Chain A
Amino acid sequence: MGARVRLLEGFIGRARIADAAQFALQWLGELVGIRPSLCLVRPLGEQSLFVVGSYGLSGGAVDSFSVSLEDWNNPLVTAFTHRKELFFPAPQVASDRKRRPTTPLEDLAFHCVPLGVSRAADDVFGLLLLGGAAPLHSELHWFTGIFSQKIDQVLRNQATTEGDRKQGRERSLLYSIINAVSDPILLTDTEGRLLIANARALTLFTASEEESEGRRGAVRMNNMLLSSALSSKAIEEMSATRRELLLVNPVDGSDLVFEFLSTITEDPRQGSGVVSILRNVTDLRRASEEIEENYRKMRVAEVQARAESDRLNLIIDSVADPIVVTDAAGATSLMNEPAERLFTIPTGASEIEQRWVQANDAHFSSFIAGMLVSADQRRIGEIGLSDPGTGEAMPVEAIAGKILSDHGELTAVVTILHDQREALEKARLYEQLKQASDELERKIQAATADIAQQNELLRRQAIELEQASALKSQFLANMSHEFRTPLNAMLGYTSMLLQGVAGPTEPPVRRQLSRIESNGRHLLTIINEILDISRIEAGRMPLQMSTVRIPDLVGEVKSELEPIIMRSKLTVTLDIAKDLTPITTDRQKVKQILLNLLSNALKFTHHGTVTIGARRNSKERTVTVLVTDTGIGIAQADQDRIFEDFRQLDNSPTRAYSGTGLGLSICRRLAQMLDGRISVHSQVGKGSTFTLTLPTKGRR
């Protein structure tokens, strides 16, 4: 009885299974005398039996011994699964060992007793291996019952604490996992208050007082954004779909884009909450944008490439010269339309056309073959082709170039054929043109020589003319001299006769002498005037510019004609403007003009007055001198003619007025020489006004 108490007392306080087992086996060996012994237990969830205690056995083999429950051939497994007590006697012969399980008890006879609380077969949790050949007595059955209960209890306790510990472990593991997740994860209550947040979420949504203002501001903003995203209405609308949430990175203030997934969890104990998972898609978004951009670029490049290719085709086709691309084997891989005309047989071609094309093909092939075998990069040659349409000989210049790959392999030969017919025709035309041009040049040279000759002739003629003109002037000068010399004597003697130098003369003789004198004077005037005109026309009347006071000049003219004025019984008045300033002109020529105008006025006026006026026109920078009479006047139709040479309106031999008719003609020429002009305003029977206009400053 004392032994049983010791066992029960020993079990108290032995909470660990190994302690309890070790104590029990020790008790069994010392107080019951069963030795050696071994206890195997199946831990919860394991598929093997492990040693938890032993007695009377030694060596590492004991602790490491285990029995796999999947080893169906092992009799120990049978004992365990079928809840059977088994006895294994000591082996007599070697073959007996095969029927025994291998145990730390080796060749000893032993009993195998299943351990379990209830009678059910599946409640077995371990085996006791008890050495000894003697049958098991009742005390041992009591022991296994108590031991089984103790082990069961320990196992249960163990399972409970194991469970608690496991739950704690799992919890912390869960937190670790959650924290390890780089995406923010949040659990909020239905009011939006934060219940659980992982580390990443904490950096986004919480900030302590020590954090910078910027960071706290970012966190506040994030919370606001989150709250609005989490508002129950938003969640309902969202249902299970994903949304995007824009947040601010509190660390650096950059924008973050999150994919936001929320689900409402129903927990009967703690009420419902919202689990939100935010996935940072900023990089994803950027990457996707980049991908989109790349795709777009690729599309553009593709379009460009296609356009390039189309353009290339278009260019090749639009080249008038045939282009043939041949591969490395000599086979044609591409040709443009003009080349096709030469080297392909059109549908419905006549036999002769086919022959021309074949001949062309043969010529071209031999050229290409030569090109392919040669080492030349380029080759220029002539091929005698024929126009397939007409059969006309068509010499072409072929320019072939090899196209090499990056590795230097021949990939293609491009050949451009240039129709030589046009070039030959051009050369021929050029030759013709050149001949024509040469001919023309010869003609031009001849013509130029001719012109030079003509010029020389003209030059000589000009010299001759100049000489003739000089001779004419000289002749006029001489003639004038020759005229004057006898006239001088005639006038002189007449004058002397009239003066009575050689004695007094009778009045009738005097009258006749007067006629001689007046005719002589007239002849002298004519000679002088003809000489004047000749000098003007020969440009031999030089201007002698000086400062001239018009009032003085007018007075001089008037006084010079005073004898005629006296005789005419006319009143001559002066009307000279006060503001008249001196002008620069040729005094002698102006005087000649004014003498002529005034004597004309006196000559053609029978009664009335003659007025000499002078005005200044400062705007035109001119001075006008007007000679106005109350004479016979000039009809409108005749007013231009009076300035012509030898023009006196009455041209009859018995005309009433003397004069050469050269006076006004000379006046006009002189006025022109002085850059001035002379004009007339007249009415028949009323009188005339002659106006001389002179620049205040003459040219020379």
Chain B
Amino acid sequence: MTMKSDRPRVLLVDDYPDAREMYTEYLEFSGFEVVEAGNGKEALQRAVDTAPDIILMDLSLPVMDGWEATRRLKADERTASIPVVALTGHALAGISEGAKKAGCDAFVTKPCLPEDLVREIRKILGCRSSSSTRKVRRSGKYAKSS
């Protein structure tokens, strides 16, 4: 169990290292503490160990997929209250439905720009604990170039 800082802690679960690294870098840049996991099983362990404020869960994962992991997280009283944001490159209909069923609190489709992800996280956390997110620097000044 690591020391809990005053920064909101994000558990980022993704099996694609580049994506994991990119989001981690940007989340830390945006003022979050990031804990990483490469598969569902690892995610369960980390969630129990680090007690994150929010979990970003890719659904297609090796060893244990995101749906199963989410179900277990929500079934475990130690982790049940942690919001889970499903993060997937699958765009087929029914995916979001399945994610909701598994217990996900929100659903974000990849590709998702880092700043959009941060906005989504802040939105969810803002509803829960405004104090921790107030300190986070808004990424709004980095306007999209498109």
Contact = CB atoms under 8 A, between A and B. Distances in A.
A623 B145 CA distance: 38
Interface residues of B, number: 26
A498 B91 contact: no
* Residue among A481, A492, A514, A541 having the largest count of chain B Cβ atoms under 10 Å: A492
A528 B146 contact: no
A495 B60 CA distance: 24
A493 B93 contact: no
A521 interface: yes
B57 to A, nearest CB: 15
Nearest to A524: B111
Interface string A488-514: 110111011011111000000010011
A298 B91 CA distance: 106
A488 B21 CA distance: 12
Interface stretch (B22-30, B62-70, B98-106): B22-30
Given A491-B111, A517-B145, A518-B146, A501 B93 contact: no
Nearest to B21: A489
B50 interface: no
A487 B113 CA distance: 10
A207 to B, nearest CB: 121
B142 A498 contact: yes
A147 to B, nearest CB: 176
Contacts of B29: 496, 501
A592 to B, nearest CB: 13
Nearest to A491: B111
Given A481-B60, A481-B90, A499 B139 contact: yes
B93 A492 contact: no
Given A492-B19, A499-B139, A485 B115 contact: no
Interface in B88-146: 88-93, 110-115, 139, 142, 144-146
A483 B146 CA distance: 20
A492 B111 contact: yes
Nearest to A487: B111
B114 A496 contact: yes
B113 A492 contact: yes
Contact of B26 (A481, A482, A501): A501
B144 A495 contact: yes
A484 B109 CA distance: 10
Contact of B19 (A485, A499, A501, A517): A485
Nearest to A490: B111
Given A481-B60, A492-B113, A495-B115, A501 B89 contact: no
A485 B89 contact: yes
A499 B115 contact: yes
B91 A489 contact: no
Interface of B: 16, 18-19, 22-23, 25-26, 29, 60, 88-93, 110-115, 139, 142, 144-146
Given A477-B92, A481-B88, A501-B25, 13 more contacts: A480-B90, A482-B89, A488-B19, A488-B89, A489-B18, A492-B23, A492-B111, A492-B112, A495-B113, A501-B26, A501-B142, A517-B146, A521-B146
30 contacts: A473-B92, A477-B92, A480-B92, A481-B60, A481-B89, A482-B89, A484-B89, A484-B110, A484-B111, A485-B110, A486-B18, A487-B111, A488-B89, A488-B111, A489-B22, A492-B22, A492-B26, A492-B111, A495-B114, A495-B142, A496-B22, A496-B29, A499-B139, A501-B25, A501-B29, A501-B142, A517-B145, A540-B92, A540-B93, A542-B93
